[in-house]
A = this chain, B = another copy of it.
Amino acid sequence: MTSSATSSAPAVTLADIQAAAQRIKGHAVRTPLIESPALNRVVGGRILVKPEMLQRTGSFKFRGAFNTVSQIPERLRPAGVVAFSSGNHAQGVAAAAAQLGMPSTILMPADAPAIKVESTRAWGAEIVFFDREKDDREALARKLAADKGAYVVPPFDHPHVIAGQGTIGLEIAEDVKALGVKPDAVVVPCGGGGLIAGTSTAIAGALPGVPVYAAEPAGFDDTIRSLKSGQREKAQPGAKSWCDALLAPMPGEITLAINRRTLAGGFAVTDDEVARAIALAFLHLKLVVEPGGAVALAAVLSGKIEARNRTIVVVCSGGNIDPGVFASALKRAELVNN
């Protein structure tokens, strides 16, 4: 094997994802594909939703966390795990650790949604807050882990995490085959890129020829721009978004290397488009979607990706949204008449 062949070997393979699927079986929820005739009428096509808000801890993050934590050797488990996260990864790691009888310490930004802080605590995690603007969260996590001898579970840029998230792609492939459908596209929310790196790897292996697109919040379209430039681009300076789950400052090294091979492109959506997606998911799907979890659905409902007379699979990646924010989203979408 030449050195160039070695360097181009993918960090995560279909076999890694199949192994992850065996590991999480019976621990993670096997989510279905959900379809609403009323939502289909809105776009004049067919939308198949992968509802990861129904996943344990209310987001897909449990998959990657459990796949990673369950591979920590027995002798290292008593020292526990450390993670840094705005919330969904925090809950995923805390729940995975709790299920394996391990302690967990989670670094969270001081402005994380209350619902995510409380839910993480409820899984028995110790919470340490940091300042999103001033502190270096990775350095803080490394120091905490060194002090405790604990294992750091990174939020996205790790092969085990990516392989765990990829199980979503395997399940999508199984379910569309059972429906006898070949989708025209799969659209996936993208923050650091772990979910879409895993999912697109699984789709490339199990549904070859089906294009996978990233959906990102406007201003945080770093993966879309990185795909174009060929190098890791940062989120736009000063950008703000209420998609708190998707505020990673730039793509991961491993995730971008995968996504450059596997993605067909991407779409950025505005906060208003996300609000409308949340409201239409409420109205027609009867599902609770958080802002970051709704970007792929927003890309379809806004027409950025054409759904007319086509079948589009959309990953809705989480539903951990504060009740007040949810009420505001319904209002913002002008569905609440008061």
Contact = CB atoms under 8 A, between A and B. Distances in A.
A336 B330 CA distance: 14
Contacts of A54: 34, 285-286
A289 B336 CA distance: 17
Interface string A280-314: 00111111110000000000000000000000000
Interface in A47-95: 51, 53-54, 56-58, 95
B115 A283 contact: yes
A35 interface: yes
B35 A29 contact: yes
Contacts of A323: 279, 282-283, 330-331, 335-336
A3 interface: no
On chain A, which size bracket covers the interface?
A: 35 or more
Contacts of A337: 324
25 contacts: A34-B54, A37-B56, A37-B95, A38-B58, A38-B122, A53-B286, A54-B285, A54-B286, A58-B284, A58-B286, A279-B323, A282-B288, A282-B323, A283-B323, A286-B287, A286-B288, A286-B319, A287-B288, A323-B330, A323-B331, A323-B335, A324-B336, A324-B337, A327-B327, A327-B331
